[in-house]
Amino acid sequence: MKIGRWNHKGQNYEGFFVGDDNDFYAVPFENGLTIQSLLELGLPSALKVVAGQNSSEKHGGQDICLLAPLKPGTVRDGVAFEAHVEGVTRSIDGASDVVDEWYDFPTFYFTNPHAIIGTDEVMSPPPSEKLDYELELGIIVGSVDGEPGRNLSPEQAKKAIFGYTVMNDWSARDIQAREMKVRLGPAKGKDFATTIGPWIVTADEFEDRLDSEGFLPLNMKVWVNGELYGEDSLSNIGWPLNELVAYASRNTMVAPGDLIGSGTCGWGGCLAELWGRNGELTPAPLKAGDEVRMTVEGVGTITNIVGEPVVAPAIPRARQKI
């Protein structure tokens, strides 16, 4: 099942989609049903509820503008691909290294739920000399037996995965590097935009693709201005997706409507990794007018144009007290 949000003739809708990525129509929900209410029901009940919808209203795919399929409550973003860590570390430190602690747990940071944009939107970055894309899979959290998940086991966490979306964690690497010298962050180098879309594909659609260890062998690709820059398999992630969700729930809760990023895939999943492997800023950082297109097999495709940078008001340096 594919669910999402769209605009048709100036009005926003939530509903489900019928057809494939290139030939589909959208069916609005009836009786006040929303994506958030489905997430709160949990996947098994949500599938039954949507199957009972009888709306006769249909909007052709060519007649709608897709919106970000979710307004997430929180956004956690991981760093779960070993090849990504190795390549980016080389770009920062000049040497390939994956610290031992990376293998201990699927770490993440929190980013900005108010900066979510959808496919086909113009992405307006801050001024940056090292603007980057990051290709990820987004995990959409639903309820576990009607409740938020807290201290979930991996088996319980699998039930909390409602579905998936394609995710682009836009990054300003020069701002990020400067901020993280303070031993905190990333912050403004990351929180200006995150693309998700084109819709949410429910987890049941992928049950027959799981391998014996619980990994999903889905192809992931990214193009810049029509040129293929990166390709990887989701199965190269360090942990099955349910283990990312289980870790996120430790000593807290993951709630319906939360978004958890897989972390950037390897082998060109971001420019910073390629800069590390090439020893220079090749390919060039993103600039205004560039088109970035990403696809995850079975989930969908998102495309954005990089807009002109937005200059924010300056803030003075700290007043030294010691």
State how far the Cα of 148 lies from the Cα of 135, in Å rounded to an integer.
28
**pLDDT score recorded for residue 94:** 72
**pLDDT score recorded for residue 60:** 97
**pLDDT score recorded for residue 54:** 86
Domains of the chain in start order, with CATH, are: 2-66 (no CATH), 75-306 (3.90.850.10)
State how far the Cα of 174 lies from the Cα of 90, in Å rounded to an integer.
15
Q: What is this structure's pTM? A: 0.97
State how far the Cα of 146 lies from the Cα of 31, in Å rounded to an integer.
20
**pLDDT score recorded for residue 58:** 97
Instruction: Measure Cα distances from 272 to 1, 114, 215 in Å.
Output: 35, 25, 26
Please write the tens of the pLDDT for every residue from 115-163: 999 999 999 999 999 999 999 999 999 999 888 999 999 999 999 999 9
Using an 8 Å Cβ cutoff, are 35 and 69 in contact?
yes
* Residue ranges of the chain whose pLDDT lies below 50: none
